[in-house]
Amino acid sequence: MTASSGVDCKSVLCGLSPVEAVLFDIDGTVCDSDPIHYAAFREVLQEIGFNGGVPITEDYYIENISGNHNDNIARILFPDDFERGIKLTDDKEAMFRRLVGDKLKPVSGLDKVRKWVEDRGLKRAAVTNAPRPNAELMISILGLSDFFQAVILGSECEHAKPHPEPYLKGLEAIKASKEHTFIFEDSVSGIKAGVAAGMPVIALTTGNPEHILMEAKPSLIIKNYDDPKLWAALEELDKKSGTRGA
């Protein structure tokens, strides 16, 4: 399926009927964390004089860092010194955790989509490339600890996103089938992982512009969980499934 941004989007999920589960990325998907990650990377890279001390741009961050696993980021930033790259990403994650407490906000409409999932008794898991301390901290701050039935980490799989393994592990953990599951994502890396795992992916433009997300072939692109395109698609899915919320 190809991404739709118009009225035709209403049928993009209907093939999943009856829907069984929803998988969520965390960073940029349930919370608007990309600006915090960007600020942390800018600061730690400036501190070590990366790029001659010139701060990285948002475009550089989107192209090289956003959605990537830290092992890949370390290799991109320091192709000749992986250990230095890993230390840098560790320092950055510690800074992120210091910054995140006061700044982390849910993506607009998250409570509404959470209620939609819960009212239908759907299974759900978080699937992320974030380190476990970050993932658990963000989930806790957002009040989602009881919502997710499993949390799958790229670092605890043989392959992280964009490989499909984390999403396939997510299905396995909650005993769901890919034929009746869809995914919410915000990065090219994550969308590619979900598509490769054989599931429709709804992409949010919280961290990346639409034209970049389109390259990864999501089924639908939305601004946030308040987007009318999302609710048109979910309404059609409800009709096809013959279900309604409580």
Enumerate the active-site residues.
25, 27
Report CA 19 to chain centroid distance, whole Å: 20
Measured CA to CA in angstroms, residue 79 lies from 44, 75, 76 at distances of 17, 5, 6
Contact 180, 16 (CB under 8 A): yes
Alpha-carbon distance of 54 to 42, in angstroms, equals 9
32 DSSP assignment:
-
Contact 236, 25 (CB under 8 A): no
Alpha-carbon distance of 145 to 207, in angstroms, equals 23
